[in-house]
Amino acid sequence: MYQAETLKSLSVVFFFILLSCDTNHIKPTILIENVIIVDGQGNKPSKGSIRIKDDKIVAVGQIVASKSDSIINGRGWHVSPGFIDSHSHHDSGRAPTYEAALSQGITTIIIGQDGFSRFPIGTYLDTIQTHPEPINIASYTGHNTIRLKVMDDYKREANGTEIDSMKLLLKQEMEGGAIGLSTGLEYDPGIYSSTEEVIELSKELQAYGGRYISHMRSEDVGLEAAIEEIIKIGKEADVPVQISHFKLGRKGLWGKAQEFINRLNEARKEGVEITADVYPYEYWSSTMTVLFPKRDFDNIESARFALSELTTPEGMIISSFNADTTYEGKTLAEIADERNQDPAQTYLDLIAMSIETPGESIIAKSMTKEDIYTLLSWEHANLCSDGSPTGHPRGWGSFPRYFSEAKDIPIEERIIKMTSQAAQNIGIGNIGEIKPGYFADLVLFNPETLKDKATFNESSQPAEGIIQVWVSGKKVYDQGRLTGIKSGRVIRRG
Ligand SMILES: [Zn+2]
């Protein structure tokens, strides 16, 4: 009896302790102390603390803890602004958890890329505002999406009435909170649009402070012309333009990254606010048909050209193929071997099969590391992932991969590419820097071990070295796990 009473009172004391621990969480401010701050502004890393109130950073530097602070010991780890992914497909798949993005330190994703977006975007943004995700989300509105709404037979240029209808839809989407217009001019139906159509639509962005971002008409054979096209769109529509996943995807272009940068700098001198994002892989991921700009899927010469100048049979991996799933994970060279065929013929056959039974994607090697890093070194370029939860390892590894591969670049400059440069290029304020008044989106990491783990065979591997990720002042990822807290914000233009 006596023992039971003692136990009872002990448990009351214990409960009280629990409660008082809990009051820690409702203290008005959080102080993350004992961290090395890489602020996203380019300052040298420095030891200090960060005070957070609600969803914002309120103080940075040498801070004396106060009674109102709930203390987090950063144990000497580095802390930077949350990474910003200016070209993301992390919202794809059913009920995405965003683990692929958060586990590599990404706290903001920009979706609605390559000309495809949710429609109407306002409804989608309202839904995630009511039921938040653990990550911040902003979206472009897709040219392909609105073109399909307006044109049934889309394999032609749009007429004036159709362009007017698209303008109305674009206005509606901008009012719903889109941050601008994205095009995917290498894909159906955007591939059939004229430059004039895109310029006419882009002019509508001005009134909203919107921006234009583009998966350009070509990243290989017609890259030079595609760059002239985006410069022209920027100039004539008078809006900032961004090249999506900038790459030199043709053998004949390898080693010429600096020449392209020179052209972009020239355009900037002429008043075009042009920028670019780049992901750090020599392999891209897309559809089989993307290497046929003329859509001549029965032309063996086009297939031969694609397999010699743009990629190789060994460098093309079939990642998904509904027509015959036994081909998934194999290279085109392996499949051609199995079928005892010329790889170019196999390529055409597979495309024909995928037209019968839709659903395919490939990963193919077309770039060099040297070009990738030269493009990324351009002062107006930022890092992106172009990633999704499955498929290409970039979905899980882009940011840590760049961080660990670019070790010769000072850490504060690498972090700019991953944070504030992206914020600037997409025109979003109050994120991407550790600064009072900015949102408390933060990544706690170990610079010695930060590294990508995802490979082509095992693409869903979380990176090493990310310790904690904070979104809007709340911990959403902790030591390899999602915490279940969903404090992501919806970011709308204006
Ligand atoms: Zn793209």
Domain holding 324, by residue range, is 285-365
Gap from CA of 87 to ligand 1 centroid (Å)? 8
Q: Say yes or no to pLDDT of 5 above 90.
A: no
Report if residue 361 sits inside a domain.
yes
For the chain, how many structural domains are there in total? Answer: 1
Gap from CA of 279 to ligand 1 centroid (Å)? 11
Report if residue 293 sits inside a domain.
yes
Gap from CA of 106 to ligand 1 centroid (Å)? 19
Gap from CA of 288 to ligand 1 centroid (Å)? 14
State pLDDT tens for residues 252-290.
Answer: 999 999 999 999 999 999 999 999 999 999 999 999 999
Report if residue 146 sits inside a domain.
no
Gap from CA of 486 to ligand 1 centroid (Å)? 28
pLDDT band for position 9 (cuts 50, 70, 90): low
Mean pLDDT of 356-365: 95
Report if residue 317 sits inside a domain.
yes
| Predicted pLDDT of residue 26 | 79
Gap from CA of 131 to ligand 1 centroid (Å)? 28
User: Which residue's entry shows tokens 């889109």?
Assistant: 178
| Predicted pLDDT of residue 456 | 85
State pLDDT tens for residues 392-439.
Answer: 999 999 999 999 999 999 999 999 999 999 999 999 999 999 999 999
pLDDT band for position 457 (cuts 50, 70, 90): confident
| Predicted pLDDT of residue 359 | 96
Report if residue 481 sits inside a domain.
no
Gap from CA of 114 to ligand 1 centroid (Å)? 5
Average pLDDT of the chain to the nearest whole number: 94
| Predicted pLDDT of residue 11 | 52
Gap from CA of 364 to ligand 1 centroid (Å)? 14
- What is the rounded CA–CA span in Å between residue 146 and residue 176? 14
Gap from CA of 187 to ligand 1 centroid (Å)? 9
Gap from CA of 85 to ligand 1 centroid (Å)? 13
Gap from CA of 331 to ligand 1 centroid (Å)? 22
**Where does residue 404 rank: exposed (0-12), middle (13-18), buried (19+ CB within 10 A)?**
buried
Report if residue 421 sits inside a domain.
no
Report if residue 445 sits inside a domain.
no
Gap from CA of 244 to ligand 1 centroid (Å)? 6
Gap from CA of 184 to ligand 1 centroid (Å)? 7
Report if residue 356 sits inside a domain.
yes
CB hemisphere CA count around 325 (13 angstroms): 1
Gap from CA of 363 to ligand 1 centroid (Å)? 13
CA dihedral 264, 265, 271, 276 (to 10 degrees): 50
pLDDT > 70 fraction of the chain, expressed in percent and rounded: 95
